[in-house]
Structure 1
Amino acid sequence: MIAENDPAGTASLFRSAINRLTDHTCRLVTTQLRYNNLYPKDLHVPWLDAAGRDELADALETADVFHFHMLADEHMPLGDITAAPFLAGKKIVHHHHGHHAFRSDPAFFQKKYRELGRKNLLVSTPDLLPKLPGARWQPNLVPERDPAYMPHPRRPDGTVRLGHSPTRRGLKNTDTLLAVCQRLKAELPEITWDIIENASHADCLARKQACDIVFDHMQGYFGISSLEALSQGTPVIAGLDDWNIATIRDFFHCDAPPWVLAHDATELENALRELILAPNRRRDIGATSRAFMEDVWNEEFLVRALCDFYETVQ
C-alpha cells in the first residue's frame, strides 16, 4: 500500500489485518504526517536510513499489488525513487477516501484512470460510488477485538459526556453541534462534551471510550470515527442518508444499521435530548452497536473481502 499520509489510519489497520488474519503480507509506504494522529508506521519514507531505503526498493520490487490510497500514484516521490519503474507485472489498485481534491473534481480522476486503463478502483464510503463509476465499495475496518476498540464504560458521575473528533470542523458540522450543546446545557446541565482535536490516535480512542454518546457528522455518510465508537459500544449520531443506508444493508446483508440518525440541527438536538434523558436506551443502543461490529462489520470479514478483491483484479 502506498499513500501520502495514512487516511484516518485506515491503511495501517488494513495492513495489520492482512498480516494478522491472512496468509498474505502487506507493507505500507507513507511520505507525510498529518493531524498529529501518530498512526503506526511501516516504511515511512522521511524516517528511512540507507538500509530502510533498500528495504523500500525491495518491497516495491517483490510486491504483487500496488494499492494506491487517495492521490498517490506511481509518480509520487518516495524519497529519491518512485513506484513507476516497478510497475511491470503488478496489479494496480486506486483507493479513494473522500479527499477534497477528489470530491471537488472527480471527473479529473475518472479521466485519468480511463486513459490509463485502470479499472481496479475502490472507495471507502458509499457516497463516493457515484463519483467514480465502476468502483467498488471497500468498507473501512477496525480491530473490534483490540481493547482500545472494546467497551469500557466510565464510572457514573452525574454527567452525560458527548464525544466528537473532527479532523476538519467545517466538514464535520462541529459548529452546529456546539450550538446545539449550548442550547441543551440550559435545559440539561448534565451534558458535557469533549471535542477531540490534535490528539494522538491512541488518546482519541481512550477519550472516545470514556464518552456516553459520540457525534460523527451530518454529511450523509459516516467516518472512521463512527466505526470506532460503534465498536466501543457507544451510541453514535450521524446523518446517514438513504443511499448510504441502503448500500450498507446490501453489502452486509443486514437490517438497519445502528446509527442514531440526525440530518439537521433540530434532529440533532432531539436525538441528543432523548439519549441524555434515557440511560437505558443509551445502554441498549450501545449493546446493539457493539454486536453489529462483532457480528456484521468485523475485520475478519472485511479483510477477506479486500483479499478476494485482490484475487480478481487484472
Structure 2
Amino acid sequence: MIAINDPAGTAIEFTKAINKYTEHTCRLITKEIRYNFMFKKDLHLPWLDADGWEEMEQLLRTSDVFHFHMTADEYIELGPFKPVNYLHGKIIVHHHHGHPDFRGNPEKYRNKYKKRDRHNLLVSTPDLLKLLPEARWQPNLVPIDDPLYTPLKHKPDEPVIICHSPTRKDLKNTSELVQAVNQLKKKVGTNIELCLIENTPHKECLRLKRESHILFDHMQGYFGVSSLEGLSQGLSVIAGLDEWNRQCIEMFTGTSELPWVLMSPENLIQQLNELLLDINLLNYYAEESRQFMETCWRDAQVVQKLQFFYSEAK
C-alpha cells in the first residue's frame, strides 16, 4: 500500500488486518504526517534508515499488488524511487477516500484511469460511488477488540457527554451541533456537555470518545471512520445517513437494522432533546451499536471483502 499520508488511519488498519487474518503479507509506505493525529506507521519515509530504504526498494520490486490511496499513483516520488519503474507484473489498485481534489473534479480521475486502462478501483464510502461509478465500495474497518474500541461502563448520574471530532468543521455540521448544545444547556434539568476534539493524537481522541455517551459524526448523508469508532465503543452515534448510504450498508451487512441515530440539521435541537430525555432510548442505541459491530463489521469480516477484491483483480 502506498499513500502520501494515511487517510484517517485506515490504510494501516487494512495493513494490520491483512497480515493478521489472511495468508497474504501487506506493507504500507507513507510520505507525510498531516493533522498530527499520530496514526501508527510502517515504512514512513522521513523515519527510514539505510536498511529501511533498501527494504522499501525490495518491496517495490517483489510485491504482487500496488494499492494506491487517495491521490497517489505510480508517479509518486518515494525518495529516489518511483513505482512506475516497477509496474511490470503488478496488479494496480486505486483507492479513493474523499480527498477534496477528487470530490471537486472526479472526471479528472475517471479520465486518467480510462486512459491508463485501470479497472481496479475502490472508494471508502458509498457516496463516492456516485463520483466514481466504475469503483467498488470497500468499507473501512476498526479493530473492535482493541481495548480503546470497546465500551466503557458509565455511572448513571453523570452528565451526558456528546463528542465530536471534526477534521474540517465546515464539512461536519459543527456549528449546528454547537448551537444545539448551547440551546439545550439553557433548558432546566438538562445535564449535557460537549467534547469538541480537535488537533488531538488518535489514541487520546479514542479515549475521549470512549468516555462519552453520544458521538456526533455529521449530517452530510454519509458516514466516516468516526462513526465506526463510536459504534464499536458502544456510543449512540448520530449521523444524517441518506437513503443511498443506508441501502449500501444494508447490502454489505445483510441487515436493515442499522444502529445510527438519524438526525437532520432542520430538526437537530428537537431530535437531540428527545434522545437526551429518554435514557432507555439512549441505552438502546448504545447496545445496538456494539452488537452491530460485533455481528456485521468485525475487521476479520471486512478485510475478507478486500482479499476477494484482490483475487478478482487483473
Q: Aligned equivalents of 1:5 and 1:185: distance in 2?
A: 39
Q: Aligned equivalents of 2:274 and 2:78: distance in 1?
A: 50
The 5 A counterparts of 1:2-41 are: 2-41=2-41
1:46–1:79: 8 Å Cα contact kept in structure 2? no
**Counterpart residue number, 2:151:** 151
Q: Secondary structure at the match of 1:236?
A: strand
> Which digits, 9 at most, give the CA deviation of each residue in 1:173-193, with x for residues without a partner?
111110111111101541101
**Counterpart residue number, 1:289:** 289
Is 1:299 aligned to 2:288, yes or no? no
**What is the TM-score normalised by the length of structure 1?**
0.98
**Counterpart residue number, 1:225:** 226
Q: Secondary structure at the match of 2:186?
A: helix
**Counterpart residue number, 2:263:** 262
Alpha-carbon shift at residue 158 of structure 1 (Å) = 3.2
Q: Aligned equivalents of 2:173 and 2:61: distance in 1?
A: 44
Identity across matched positions, percent: 52
**Counterpart residue number, 1:209:** 210
1:69 counterpart letter in structure 2:
H
Alpha-carbon shift at residue 204 of structure 1 (Å) = 0.5
1:7–1:97: 8 Å Cα contact kept in structure 2? yes
Alpha-carbon shift at residue 157 of structure 1 (Å) = 4.6
The 5 A counterparts of 1:159-170 are: 159-170=159-170
Q: Aligned equivalents of 1:270 and 1:61: distance in 2?
A: 58
Q: Aligned equivalents of 1:78 and 1:34: distance in 2?
A: 17
1:177–1:265: 8 Å Cα contact kept in structure 2? no
Alpha-carbon shift at residue 252 of structure 1 (Å) = 1.8
1:5 counterpart letter in structure 2:
N
> Which digits, 9 at most, give the CA deviation of each residue in 1:89-139, with x for residues without a partner?
000000000111000000000000000000000000000001112100000
1:68–1:93: 8 Å Cα contact kept in structure 2? yes
Alpha-carbon shift at residue 263 of structure 1 (Å) = 2.1
Q: Aligned equivalents of 2:77 and 2:303: distance in 1?
A: 28
1:2–1:68: 8 Å Cα contact kept in structure 2? yes
Alpha-carbon shift at residue 156 of structure 1 (Å) = 4.1
> Which digits, 9 at most, give the CA deviation of each residue in 1:144-181, with x for residues without a partner?
11111110133345311000000010111111110111
1:176–1:265: 8 Å Cα contact kept in structure 2? no
1:150–1:232: 8 Å Cα contact kept in structure 2? yes
**Counterpart residue number, 1:195:** 196
Q: Aligned equivalents of 1:156 and 1:86: distance in 2?
A: 59
Which stretches in structure 1 are left out of the alignment for 5+ residues?
none
> Which digits, 9 at most, give the CA deviation of each residue in 1:202-246, with x for residues without a partner?
000010000010100011100000000000010000010000001
**Counterpart residue number, 1:251:** 252
Q: Aligned equivalents of 2:177 and 2:266: distance in 1?
A: 7
Is 1:44 aligned to 2:44, yes or no? yes
**What is the TM-score normalised by the length of structure 2?**
0.98
The 5 A counterparts of 1:33-72 are: 33-72=33-72
Alpha-carbon shift at residue 23 of structure 1 (Å) = 1.1
Q: How many residues align?
A: 313
Q: Aligned equivalents of 2:221 and 2:181: distance in 1?
A: 21
2:224 counterpart letter in structure 1:
G
> Which digits, 9 at most, give the CA deviation of each residue in 1:247-266, with x for residues without a partner?
11112211131100012142
**Counterpart residue number, 2:311:** 311
**Counterpart residue number, 2:121:** 121
Which stretches in structure 2 are left out of the alignment for 5+ residues?
none
CA RMSD of aligned residues (A): 1.0
Alpha-carbon shift at residue 62 of structure 1 (Å) = 1.3
Q: Which moved more, 1:190-199 or 1:149-158?
A: 149-158
